[in-house]
Structure formats: C-alpha cells, structure tokens
Copies of this chain bind each other. A is one copy, B any other.
Amino acid sequence: MSVFSREIIVPTNGEKDILDITDLTAKKVKESQLNNGIVTVFVVGSTAALTTMEYEQGLKKDFPKILETIAPYDITYEHNKTWQDGNGHSHIRASLIGPSLTIPFISGKLGLGVWQQIVLVELDTRSRERKIVFQIIGE
C-alpha cells in the first residue's frame, strides 16, 4: 500500500465552463503504477466543483442553466454587498455540488461508466487557473 500525490493546474473560461478531466485522472492513476485503490480528486478553491456527468454538448448547456435557477445570478447576496465581486451565486453553487470526488480503480482502470466523465465545473464569473489535487492510495 502506498500514497501517490500529484497536482495540476487547469485554465478555465469562467462561468458555464465544464472541463472533462477523466483522461487526466486516468493518466495520474497510471503514473502511480498502483493497480487497486482509490483516487481522491479535489479542486482547490471555493467557486469551482467536481462531479461526474455524461460529457456532451447538450448537458454542458443544461447544467449551468439549472444552476442559474437554483442560485440565480441577480438576486441579493450578502456576500456581494461586502466583497463587491459579484460571485455570491458561484460560492453557493460550489458548496452544493462539492469540491471532492473519490473514485475506485481496479486493475489500473477507473470504475466509471462509458458515458460517465469526471468534470471540473467552473462556477466563478471570470477565468481562473484551477489547482486540482490527485491523491491516489492503493497497492
């Protein structure tokens, strides 16, 4: 049993950008040379999130649209009154989806479905450089 740690930086195009990081994750698992275990993927920051989805053009539009109905951009946020950065909605959406994802791998292969990709959901209003931590534990 051992631990293998990697960090990467991924540039995003701000709100509504959703990035498929499945291949990146699979690559890190391969680099670890571990066969069976779990990879914890963690996005650093409070205005981005991680989840899985079928990564196709329709859902890439539908997901931000629903997030806009859950925590609309243009309602009053106490956060915005204090910080003037206009991203109160981004914070709330990020907390709802969550920053971390733990995925099993068996015989070196991630336990995902064929139409299930690991995605980084950018929720901030502006472009960001996102740090993602991969912590791989296994044997």
The chain A residues found within 8 Å of chain B, CB to CB, are 1-3, 5, 36-38, 40, 42, 44-46, 51-54, 56-59, 61-63, 66, 69-71, 77-83, 88, 91-92, 94-104, 106, 111-113, 115-116, 119, 131, 133-135, 137-139
Option from B83, B95, B111 in Cβ contact (under 8 Å) with A133: B111
**Are A62 and B88 in contact (CB-based, < 8 A)?**
yes
Interface majority SS on A: helix, strand, loop or mixed?
mixed
**Are B38 and A61 in contact (CB-based, < 8 A)?**
no
Q: How many copies of this kind of chain does the complex include?
A: 3
| Bound CA span A93–B82, Å | 26
**Are B3 and A92 in contact (CB-based, < 8 A)?**
no
Given A2-B139, A103-B100, A66 contacting B71 (CB threshold 8 A): yes
